[in-house]
Structure 1
Amino acid sequence: MGQLNDAKIKNLKPGEKDQVISDGEGLQLRLRVNGTKQWNFNYYHPVTKKRVNIGLGRYPAVSLAQARKLAMEQRELLAMDIDPKSHREAKLEERKQQSEYILEKIAAEWLEVKKHDVTADYATDIWRSLERYVFPSIGNSPLADITAPKVIALFRPLEAKGNLETVKRLNQRLNEIMTYAVNCGYVHSNPLSGIRAAFKKPKKQNMATIDPSELPDFIKTVAQASIKITTRALIEWQLHTMTRPSEAATARWEELDLEKKVWTIPAEKMKRRREHTIPLTPQMLGILEAMRPISGHREYIFPSDKDPKSHSHTQTANMAIKRMGFKDKLVSHGLRALASTTLNAQGFEPDLIEAALAHVDANQVRAAYNRTDYLERRRSMMEWWSKRIEEASQGSLSVSFRRVG
């Protein structure tokens, strides 16, 4: 029998320093100077043979009888060469995995990190796709319970409907979440790493665009269409600047430096989260002059019809192009492909074209030129492109024609 009993424990008085009273076979009661009594089990580590202490709770919440039972359990583990402390931590981690490390919670944590690399709109799109297709079925599942067969079964109906691009994106997002969880120590491995092989691959679809020879016809159609001047100017702005629909629609007056003739789009609005500078050509300045009476006193260059304090919808240009008869032939994003095709055919340096499309970091391209030379090379290329558009519009059809000499 042990050396302690309840009467003895109750009569213990704290001293000037902590006291350790042994009950035998590794069980100890530590009496602290503040009067608290803590049960410990003291043992030799089965591998390192070093002394280790593991807490078993406070007296009287844990009684002497309970403490002895707990000490016996630790000795049983040691008899099997299992370290009680490591065993306890593993059990605690297991409980955490079941209660705290659930998919939706960790996905939210992952997205907070991901937001630093993507635009706000894209982050919203990511979360909506997970809310729609993933969370209703497995959002409350512990990460440890998520397996490849489960996720494959979840996405099979989407594949059957032909939504292959959606399946591809969801697979990619879930893989990123699971890899994040592995890196954070929430799970040991990512069971979804090879999941893409279980599904049909979507056919690569290029953005619908037109041949460079069709540019005059396109501009003539835009000029004659019954659309508001803001929409027409937005389409032309997107065409001249080679920007993405969201970048063009959300352009602010304050982003322009008319003295240096540049438009600097902040990093948070760019797909690659890097600031992008576009040299302003005379034709672009002409578009701005056409918009000044309409929105010069507002924040956005191309204001929304419904709320002039806000910007045009990112799909405004696209919907207008579709209504003009270009459905399935051209999307507003395809104007970038049109510019790229034309400039490549003209023999402009591919690096400069890629930089203009914000496909590569401007700093990477600048390695070949000094800053001034680089900007001037891009400026002359953009001026050539604007001139080409102006010639295709036969001068009188652009919203900017009166302002361009």
Structure 2
Amino acid sequence: MCAQATRLSDRQLKAVKPKDKDYVLSDGDGLQLRVRVNGSTLWNFNYRQPITKNRINMGLGTYPELSLAQARKKTVEARERLAQGIDPKEQRSELEQTKRQATEHTFENVASAWFELKKDSVTQAYAEDIWRSLTLHVFPSLGTTPISQINAPRVIELLRPLETKGSLETVKRLTQRLNEIMTYGVNSGMIFANPLSGIRAVFKKPKKQNMAALRPEELPELMVAIANASIKRTTRCLIEWQLHTMTRPAEAATTSWADIDLDKKTWTIPAERMKKRRAHVIPLTEHTLALLETIKPYSGHREYVFPADRDPRTHCNSQTANMALKRMGFEGRLVSQGMRSMASTILNEQGWDSELIEVALAHVDKDEVRSAYNRADYIERRRPMMIWWSEHIQQAATGSLSVSAIQGRRVSVRATHLPDAVA
């Protein structure tokens, strides 16, 4: 007959003392108590793996937090799974992974981790747009959902109302961003595959539309409208600043005083704020410098030239100028980005060097080496063109309507008495 293993008792366990090396006390059926040199005691279930037959220790808990009776109960449960050919340690790991996904690997948490990497490769304004779109359209429905439970039918159901409403560009951007987040989840080992890889194909494609821009002869109408609009000084200055400098909405909105060099009469936009991720230097004209003088009393003590209304410590929204143009009656005729197109058309019609115009618009030169070599030269070569453009805007504004009107390097009287209306 086989000898029966001696069972442990509570009295025996209470008398356990550490020795000069770890040792094990057995309770039978694979249940062991490991006593460490430091005095800690740990319950182990020692068993043979069902397939490999290798000996494995499965930790059950520490004594006395886990009593002898509780340890025996856990051992019986583990032996029952072994009898079914199930590795109890592997099963426990899978269950813990599932629980972890439900709490740690929620869609919003994974999106946050992805965004921390993404925001360093795009402009600040674009990064803000990404997070805003997810917060508005995705997180309310899927934010707390484990990423492993995100699937195509759920996302299609989420985005269909946007498609029905006609927000096809929003749907397009969201499907792209959702795919990037899910691919990040795959590459991070959270999920095995991206279930949204082909989801964009089930939605209508947005129709490509030309950028709304005024004809060259309509520039005077724009300047009169800006002068008479009931908008804040900062908004009016922002619109004219963007017009004079031919910058993108986000680049203009995030203008920082630290990037303005009054001595050299230049504005350097850092690479991280540029669409093409390359620093862009803009020669400043007398009109743009006068415009800065106009806004300086309101923001000269702050970081950004055009501070936000609600939080002056940050910059205004990249859509501020666009919304103002809509309220001024230009909806469907002009968007703030379209001012760049209008400037390009006028400068090309006037015979300015097309290469200088492209550089002024911060379009990447196909010959990067030549572009880098001639960048400093281009700044001074562009200066006469920028001066002409500012003068052309001023003429369209009939001399005194523009914020940047110059009177002996001072701003016009009219500009200093603009209404403090809501932007």
TM > 0.5 between the two? yes
| C-alpha separation in 2, matches of 1:171 and 1:308 | 34
- Alignment partner, residue 22 of structure 1: 26
Matched, 1:192 2:196: yes
With over 3 angstroms needed to count, the CA separation of the structure-2 counterparts of 1:310 and 1:174, relative to structure 1, is closer
- Alignment partner, residue 222 of structure 1: 223
SS in 2 for 1:200: coil
Select which of 315, 325, 330 maps to 1:326. Answer: 330
- Alignment partner, residue 245 of structure 2: 241
With over 3 angstroms needed to count, the CA separation of the structure-2 counterparts of 1:204 and 1:276, relative to structure 1, is same
- Alignment partner, residue 290 of structure 2: 289
Aligned length: 394
SS in 2 for 1:207: coil
- Alignment partner, residue 204 of structure 1: 208
Alignment check: 8 A CA contact 1:19 1:32 kept: yes
- Alignment partner, residue 370 of structure 2: 368
With over 3 angstroms needed to count, the CA separation of the structure-2 counterparts of 1:73 and 1:239, relative to structure 1, is same
- Alignment partner, residue 277 of structure 1: 280
Alignment check: 8 A CA contact 1:231 1:316 kept: yes
Alignment of 1:86-235 (within 5 A): 86-210=90-214, 214-219=215-220, 221-223=222-224, 225-227=227-229, 233-235=237-239
The one-letter amino acid paired with 2:283 is L
| C-alpha separation in 2, matches of 1:175 and 1:344 | 40
SS in 2 for 1:129: helix
Alignment check: 8 A CA contact 1:241 1:278 kept: no
Matched, 1:2 2:5: yes
Alignment of 1:296-311 (within 5 A): 298-299=301-302, 301=305
| C-alpha separation in 2, matches of 1:68 and 1:182 | 40
Offset of residue 384 of structure 1? 2.6
| C-alpha separation in 2, matches of 1:369 and 1:268 | 19
Alignment check: 8 A CA contact 2:267 2:282 kept: yes
SS in 1 for 2:228: coil
Offset of residue 246 of structure 1? 3.4
| C-alpha separation in 2, matches of 1:49 and 1:368 | 68
What TM-score do the two structures reach when normalised by structure 2?
0.76
SS in 2 for 1:158: helix
SS in 2 for 1:367: helix
- Alignment partner, residue 70 of structure 1: 74
Offset of residue 313 of structure 1? 6.1
| C-alpha separation in 2, matches of 1:68 and 1:316 | 68
SS in 1 for 2:211: coil
With over 3 angstroms needed to count, the CA separation of the structure-2 counterparts of 1:390 and 1:271, relative to structure 1, is same
| C-alpha separation in 2, matches of 1:136 and 1:320 | 30
Gaps of 5+ in 1: none
| C-alpha separation in 2, matches of 1:290 and 1:157 | 44
Percent identity over paired residues: 50
The one-letter amino acid paired with 2:264 is K
Offset of residue 19 of structure 1? 0.9
Alignment check: 8 A CA contact 1:262 1:280 kept: yes
With over 3 angstroms needed to count, the CA separation of the structure-2 counterparts of 1:294 and 1:156, relative to structure 1, is closer
> What are the Cα deviations for residues 233-261 of structure 1, in whole angstroms up to 9, with x where unaligned?
54343123221223224434332123333
- Alignment partner, residue 338 of structure 1: 342
With over 3 angstroms needed to count, the CA separation of the structure-2 counterparts of 1:293 and 1:370, relative to structure 1, is closer
With over 3 angstroms needed to count, the CA separation of the structure-2 counterparts of 1:25 and 1:370, relative to structure 1, is same
| C-alpha separation in 1, matches of 2:76 and 2:146 | 32
Offset of residue 160 of structure 1? 1.6
The one-letter amino acid paired with 1:239 is L
Alignment check: 8 A CA contact 2:347 2:389 kept: no
SS in 2 for 1:52: strand
What TM-score do the two structures reach when normalised by structure 1?
0.79
The one-letter amino acid paired with 1:390 is E
| C-alpha separation in 2, matches of 1:70 and 1:303 | 63
The one-letter amino acid paired with 1:261 is K
| C-alpha separation in 2, matches of 1:402 and 1:103 | 57
Alignment check: 8 A CA contact 1:216 1:393 kept: no
Offset of residue 280 of structure 1? 0.8
- Alignment partner, residue 413 of structure 2: none
- Alignment partner, residue 415 of structure 2: none
| C-alpha separation in 2, matches of 1:127 and 1:308 | 21
User: Over aligned residues, Cα RMSD in angstroms?
Assistant: 3.9
| C-alpha separation in 2, matches of 1:86 and 1:118 | 42
Alignment check: 8 A CA contact 1:159 1:199 kept: yes
